[in-house]
Amino acid sequence: MMRAFTRYRVNFFRRLILSYTVLTVVLLGLAGGFLYVQANRMMVGEIARDSHNRLMSVKDFVEGTVLRKYENSIRHTALSTVSNAYNADLNFLLDHGWQGNISKISSLRTSLELFKVGNEGVYNATIAFAKGNYAVDSDMFYSDPAHAEDAEFMAYLARLEQRRWIARTLPDGERVLSYAVALPYGTMNEFAKGYLYVDVEIAYVEQIASSMMATPRERLYVYNANGSLALQTAEADPREARELNRLMASGKPAERIQGADGAPFILSYWKDGQSVQGWTYALIRPIDAFVLDSSQFKTNIVLGCLLVLLLGLLVSFFISKRFYIPVKQLMANLRGSHQTGHHQGAVNEFAFIGNVVDSLGRKISTLEMQARAHELKNTLLGADVALDRLDGLPTVGHYVVVHIRPLSGAIHRFSAYMEPFHVRGREWIALGQQEGAIVLHDDLASELETERIQAFLLQMQDSAREELRFGASIGTRVDSPLELSLSYQFAQQAARHQFLYGEEAVLRYDELAVLASTPHLFAYDSFKNAVRAGNVDAMNRFLDDFAHVTRSRKQQLAAVELSLLQLTSTLYQVVIELNVQQIVPPSSLFDELKRPSFDATMAAIRLLSNQVALHVKETSNHAHTELILKLKTYIDERLHEDLTLQILSEVAQLAPAYVSTLFGEVMNETFTEYVTRSRLAKAARLLEEEPRTAVADIAARVGYRNAQPSA
């Protein structure tokens, strides 16, 4: 056993050394690679900056020195046209035709030839006269410019932008830069009498620019404002031209590329708006001149990495040796606190640590699930929970809370039963033994339509009735996890309507919220009178009508409860008025009638009402007769006064309708019939006894003062 453990220890020690060595190699590779790349970037950046300075120098030399020399000579010649005192031949010819002025034209041609000879690189100098339509260059005179080889360009002079160098190719194939000014100098094209333009050989300018290149392999390209190639120090390579166009389009100042022969080059260009001609300068430079310093730097990087690697191997050995001691102690502590029942030597340490970590992971997962369920529960119950504590609930989307009231079956599997309902997420939350909730989530509002949820729950009730019975209520759709409590509150309000629709009903808050909120106005006095009179049939008819109207009329639970409260209060009033507390004490009337459903509540009210009505019917016949006889005596003694049911109800301390009902039952005639009959009988008697008394007096003595009987 000890030999096996020693072998394991040696292997573990070797693995530690190998692990640290690999870590050292990886870190060195990352650091060395980073330094290597940075060296290349530094080299490219340095070449790019140097190229930028070179391009600025080339621009200043080409535009500020070479071309400026020609511009000054042209300006000097053109300025003479401003004053007639200078260059009299040119000024004269601007205003006259060529006929008769051949000598002046010959003198002007000689001047142009001297201009060409005196300025190296000038290919030709030409003056085109508007008056007389003729032209003179350094070689020939053209009485008609159409006969000149450069006739097309002469015709274009009136539309040409002045004092700009234009790269073009002459009919004889010569590539030149042309510079034109209007004569007299400074006039607009519309008022020009003629034009002076000079053609400079591009080859001459390119030769001068080539002298500024450090090596023959450096290539300069100059593009005009239109993007066309104006100057180049070497034959343009199509591949380099494409790379330059791509670089200028990207906006980067420089970039490294591979040439056709595989050699690296640096592309750079300069364009900042300081070019008078609007030109863009591009330079292609080989990296050969910089390779020596860069290679030396890269070599130093590699040597430094090798030295650090050797040092890392030594450090890895000592760290691994020191690290094994606490690892050994850790394994001993884990074996002491997590006994598995197996022999300690037979369990691989890595497997043992893995089992311990897995066990701790399961415990943590269980605790996290419990904490998450607790946070969700608190959210539903309206507690103030931060959004970042509701892990797993997306902040974007829609939510609906469904309140579940289990009746029988495995309610904890409710979420599994809802798997066919395709939404992005569902969370089952146990709120106790008697209720639960499921939170539905989806990105699409159409997937969480409450009608769709209700239809699925009804279908689920039918398919799983043998395994699961429940009642459900659906809250409103909300757009944030923080509003789940609002959806849950609405679901609870909808759940209270199961009192009316049954314990297995599946209800929607949005459907119930639009129902009538005001109760139906029932004739509670007829119910009260029927109970007080002991009329069981009338009482039952009223209760049947009450139950039918309440069920058939679409109204909210609050309206139904208010109607029941009014009905109960009416019965409560009858119990107190009839002093029948021995049947149901008024203090416990509410507890006696409280039931979980509407039907049960109505049955309890009906039972109590029947008990009270039967008790009244059995015990109140004698009392009613005595009361009505007392009222009859009252009527007989006061026939001359105004008599109404309201007055009699105050005497009997009963409701007018109830007095009318009792009067009819005892006297077998209505109150009005009895009063009318008694007054007529008394009037007939008075007429017999007092024949001389006036009829009006007799009518007043029996209560007919206005010739209308009082009711």
Residues 285-332 have pLDDT tens digits of: 777 655 545 566 667 777 777 777 777 677 766 766 666 666 667 767
CA distances from 557 to 59, 296, 510, 518, 560 (A): 91, 90, 14, 10, 5
Residue among 500, 346, 477, 347 at smallest CA distance from 423 = 477
Give the pLDDT score at 144. 85
Q: Are 671 and 661 in contact (CB under 8 A)?
A: no
CA distances from 137 to 111, 124, 510 (A): 10, 7, 96
Q: Which helix (H) or strand (E) holds 204?
A: helix 202-210
Q: For 592-604, how does the pLDDT look when each residue is reduced to its tens digit (9 = 90+)?
A: 666 788 888 888 8
Q: Between vectors from CA 430 to CA 426 and to CA 436, what angle results, nearest 5°? A: 80
Give the integer Cα–Cα distance in Å for 173 and 101: 33
Lookup: tokens for 153: 């360009």
Phi–psi pair at 258, nearest 5 degrees: -105, 130
Q: Which helix (H) or strand (E) holds 183?
A: strand 175-183
**Sheet with 506-508, side-by-side order of all strands:** 425-430, 436-442, 398-409, 468-478, 506-508
* Omega prior to 216 cis, within 30 of 0: no
Give the integer Cα–Cα distance in Å for 426 and 433: 20
Query: Cβ–Cβ contacts within 10 Å for residue 344, how many?
Result: 15
Residue among 481, 491, 306 at smallest CA distance from 403 = 491
Give the pLDDT score at 342. 45
Percent of the chain with pLDDT over 90: 1
Helix (H, G, I), strand (E, B) or coil at 517: coil
pLDDT at 263 over 50: yes
Which one-letter amino acid corresponds to residue 690?
A: E
Give the pLDDT score at 583. 65
Decide: pTM greater than 0.85. no
* Confidence band, pLDDT 50/70/90 cuts, at residue 469: confident
Give the integer Cα–Cα distance in Å for 373 and 390: 9
Give the integer Cα–Cα distance in Å for 377 and 200: 89
pLDDT greater at residue 13 or residue 505: 505
* Confidence band, pLDDT 50/70/90 cuts, at residue 463: confident
Burial 32-60 (b: 16+ CB within 10 A, else e): beebeeebbeebbeebbebbbebbeebbe
Give the pLDDT score at 396. 73
The residue behind tokens 């902040």 is 395
Q: For 567-580, how does the pLDDT look when each residue is reduced to its tens digit (9 = 90+)?
A: 888 888 887 777 77
pLDDT at 162 over 50: yes
- pLDDT (average), residues 325-340: 66
- pLDDT (average), residues 231-253: 77
Which one-letter amino acid corresponds to residue 347?
A: V
The DSSP string of 96-118 is S-STT-HHHHHHHHHHHHHHHHH
- pLDDT (average), residues 419-448: 76
Maximum alpha-carbon separation in the chain: 173
Minimum mean pLDDT range among 235-244, 469-478, 492-501, 581-590: 581-590
The DSSP string of 213-257 is -SSTT-EEEEE-TTS-EEEESSPPPHHHHHHHHHHHHHT-SEEEE
Minimum mean pLDDT range among 125-134, 316-325, 337-346, 421-430: 337-346
